[in-house]
Amino acid sequence: MTTLSIGDLARATGVKATTIRWYEGEGLLPAPARSEGGHRAYAEAHLRRLGFIRHARELGFPMPAIRELLELADHPERDCTAAHGVATAQIAAIDAKLRQLMALRAELTRVAEACRGGRADECLILEVLADHEHGHCADPEHGRE
């Protein structure tokens, strides 16, 4: 069986070695075997699991959701209804973020279009950014989380 060093695993997956060690510490990635010299020796299963985690992160899943999905993946006999729930919750989170980004885009577009140059002390963009109370914002929800 071929083993991978942490550097090889990092290069193969695009995940930094520090992140790999963090995943191990969090229990998302099982501890690897050790070489006689004490170096980590990762197997193919580590490569697949780390690829799963990375892909889930690319899709924006938060760590608790990834943990839940890994738990399901570790028990293939279980019903996958929970995976559907995790995925639909992520879709809802993405939709909320898209709405927020569209509102931010509209606000920034409004301000940028109102600024056509001139003196910096009369610049609407600078004035709006300095307004921590968001009094200049067209969207009353802007600045609230």
Q: Is residue 85 part of a domain?
A: no
Query: At 5, which CATH number?
Result: 1.10.1660.10
Q: What is the pLDDT of residue 93?
A: 96
Q: Is residue 2 part of a domain?
A: yes
Q: Going residue by residue through the chain, which has 145 residues, state the pLDDT in tens, using 9 for 90 and above.
A: 689 999 999 999 999 999 999 999 999 999 999 988 889 999 999 999 999 999 999 999 999 999 999 999 999 999 999 999 999 999 999 999 999 999 999 988 988 888 877 788 878 888 888 877 766 666 666 555 5
Q: What is the pLDDT of residue 5?
A: 93
Domain encompassing residue 4: 1-59
Q: Is residue 107 part of a domain?
A: no
Q: Are 2 and 46 in contact (CB under 8 A)?
A: no
Which residue in 51, 63, 56 sits closest to 22, CA to CA? 63
Question: Alpha-carbon Rg of the chain, whole angstroms?
Answer: 23
Q: What is the pLDDT of residue 138?
A: 67
Q: Is residue 77 part of a domain?
A: no
Q: What is the pLDDT of residue 136?
A: 64
Calculate the alpha carbon distances from 7 to 11, 55, 56, 133 in Å: 6, 19, 21, 48
Q: What is the pLDDT of residue 143?
A: 59
Q: Is residue 72 part of a domain?
A: no
Q: What is the pTM of this model?
A: 0.77
Q: Is residue 84 part of a domain?
A: no
Q: Is residue 144 part of a domain?
A: no
